[in-house]
Chain A
Amino acid sequence: GEDVEQSLFLSVREGDSSVINCTYTDSSSTYLYWYKQEPGAGLQLLTYIFSNMDMKQDQRLTVLLNKKDKHLSLRIADTQTGDSAIYFCAETLNAGNNRKLIWGLGTSLAVNP
């Protein structure tokens, strides 16, 4: 079955880089996403990558995709305290007429001053 796995916790110092890793199982996923959830709030799309890309950079964010190993990572450069949140990896799953997202459990990022 489909499954997305992430490490549950990551703690970094302010100014360091954070790397959050994710593995997925559905090789037919067309898009993979990183969402951010701050406490008590909804989810915000941080970035996404199309499955035929290896890397995508957007300001402080770098997404790396290894399709062979089904591994996705999110690197946050110069991590700030405002980056403290839960980060969810998600892949698209085509299910009949609907495309739905399969979610990881989320990685809780703690940024220490």
Chain B
Amino acid sequence: GAVVSQHPSRVICKSGTSVKIECRSLDFQATTMFWYRQFPKQSLMLMATSNEGSKATYEQGVEKDKFLINHASLTLSTLTVTSAHPEDSSFYICSARSAGLNSYNEQFFGPGTRLTVL
């Protein structure tokens, strides 16, 4: 149980285009979803936290107009990288948490999406 999927797993796009990444909780309802960015050989950088039905809370330094997050249902959140540039190339990982799933507040992680902007 507690599986999180991401789609696509890998995307290559041209500079200036927008890319949408989907994160789905497959067998539980995710009251909160998190979007992370991971650079090579580095830790996860939390970009934003989204609660279903409300606006995402962005971390300091993350442009909300650049990285649009929508958490429209309890099983789906999307991250749209608008007007992507090569510096946006990275590994994007989502995670999901359910208030009622366990007592230790575990986040369940998707497999990640590798974005390459040419």
Contact = CB atoms under 8 A, between A and B. Distances in A.
Interface SS majority for chain B:
strand
A44 B42 contact: no
Interface in B37-89: 41-44, 46, 49, 51, 57
Nearest to A96: B57
B106 A98 contact: no
A42 B44 contact: no
B27 to A, nearest CB: 16
Given A31-B105, A98-B51, A42 B46 contact: no
Contacts, number: 51
Interface SS majority for chain A:
strand
Interface stretch (A10-18, A64-72, A74-82, A100-108): A100-108
Contacts of B110: 42
B32 A44 contact: no
B109 A44 contact: yes
A106 B46 contact: no
Contact of B93 (A42, A50, A92, A108): A42
Interface in A26-80: 30-31, 33, 35, 40-45, 48, 50
Interface of B: 4, 6, 32, 34, 41-44, 46, 49, 51, 57, 93, 95, 104-112, 114
23 contacts: A30-B105, A40-B112, A41-B112, A42-B4, A42-B6, A42-B93, A42-B112, A43-B93, A43-B109, A45-B108, A48-B104, A50-B104, A88-B43, A98-B32, A98-B49, A98-B51, A98-B57, A99-B105, A100-B34, A100-B49, A103-B43, A103-B46, A108-B41
